[in-house]
Structure 1
Amino acid sequence: MGRTADGRPATSDSASRRERSRVSVERTALALFRSRGYDAVTVEDISAAAGIGPATFYRYFGSKREVLFAYQPYLLDGIREAAERMDVTQARPAQLLEVLTAFAAHLAAQAKAMAARDEIVAANPALLPYTLAVQRDWETHLAQHLARRRGLDEPDLAARADAALILVVIRLAFRQWRAGRSPGLGEAVGVVFAEVGRALGDSPPAGPQ
């Protein structure tokens, strides 16, 4: 089975055409948000620029904010796939690096679109709570997948901590890459992960007993 332009599976010719149309509307909306500002763009503006009616827009998206966060299913797929690749026989740091590397490779296909979304959110602080809610959802899903790979029914503290750390590294790596300090997202992940290791040291101090 093939995949659509943004990595989603295509199930039939009809579904594929619909998905291509949906992706085209999404890209049109992001371009308008960047050029005019998120608040200044309406659903009618997006529909007109995409050559569709508002009713068609609402068949694809519930609101213009939903367009901005439409990447959620794609990233959740990446989280699941990265966790499934994790070799649980390795030491914990090696497990984390393996998940990070696989997730970064998944994100690389959407890196430019993610950068555009990041730029839009940065210019519109009112959108930040929604971004934080999305990231919290990623963290919850990742902790669940890590726990299951390790044979647990529910995430323990280690799975929750690892999920949080992985997403912190991804966020820092994304900024490292966007700032031009690393040639690619995968390289940026390696740089940030190594820095985290240096910060923690080989024998981190124990917490209160």
Structure 2
Amino acid sequence: MKWLDDQPQASVVFLCFGSMGSFKAPQVKEIAQGLEQIGFRFLWSLRVQSPQNDASEMLPEGFLETVQGRGMICSWAPQLKVLAYKALGGFISHCGWNSILESFWFGVPIVTWPLYAEQQLNAFKMVKELGLAVETRLNYRKDSDEVVMIDEIEKAVGMVMDGGSEVRKKVKEMSRDCKEECYGRWIFIQFFWKTDRGHDRQQL
């Protein structure tokens, strides 16, 4: 995406809630107002609950004009490719397992916003047990339609975008460890494959 290419390093918040994640108008408005007030650049994959709905109609009046240039809204975004951009500084996520793994790999810290089922457990583990994410929603026991308010959104995004935050440091370390581990295994597999094939040839 050309827009992401043009943004400074670690300056963009990416909002993506999975293929099934969507919100009603009151929550969309709170998110939009939070993004407007906190001032960070953002890319928001905004899905609507019905194909007949227009996402722009759910946004506060004048929002698109106010954030023009520092914010992008789309109906779908290639999550893995987006997370790979150096411009990414934070990821507001529903906490599906694939999303967590992808964020770890690229070293992008998460603001947890679980919506369904195991996402609540994933978020709890990330925040409470591992200290690898910042939370917004506090109800990990059941699905909830309770609206997350502007101040909560601002606080969580501010924490995850803080370049010196402990969460950011831990996620960067996790990313490095994951890549080193995978690289080590790849070297072993290559070595094993070559020596095993060589051994097979000698037996023939």
Global fold match (TM > 0.5): no
TM-score of the two chains, using structure 2 as the length reference: 0.25
Higher relative contact order (CA 8 A, sep 6+): 2
> More strand by proportion, 1 or 2?
2
> More helix by proportion, 1 or 2?
1
TM-score of the two chains, using structure 1 as the length reference: 0.25
